[in-house]
Amino acid sequence: MGEALHFLRMSGTYYTRSELTAPWGMVIPAVPGALWFHVVTAGEGALETAQGGTVLRAGDLVLVPHGAAMSRSAFSARFTELVGEPAMQYVTR
């Protein structure tokens, strides 16, 4: 993966390692020109963008291009059930 990232011509980096336990959630604002990537090493969670969502499980790698805003959580379905709309819609209206 290091070799592949080398060819992306990155002009800056931001790195964070998170160890989260349920219930957890985060919203990441849009950053034009950025490429987000997430690696799930254990457990599972939901990732949502304005284009839709998916469940991530241990071993998954996801790339979110164009610096799109997103939310990640362990309670995506429950949030939608309680509030009536997905978390990403709720925080970007």
Tens of pLDDT, residue by residue over 26-67, are 777 788 888 888 888 888 888 887 777 788 888 988 888 777
Name the pTM for this structure.
0.59
Is the pLDDT higher at 67 or at 83? 83
**Contact between residue 38 and residue 61 where contact means Cβ atoms under 8 Å apart:** yes
Q: Which of 53, 49, 41, 54 is nearest to 65 (CA)?
A: 49
Domains and CATH numbers, the chain: 21-91 (2.60.120)
pLDDT above 90: percentage of residues in the chain: 0
CA distance 55 to 66: 20
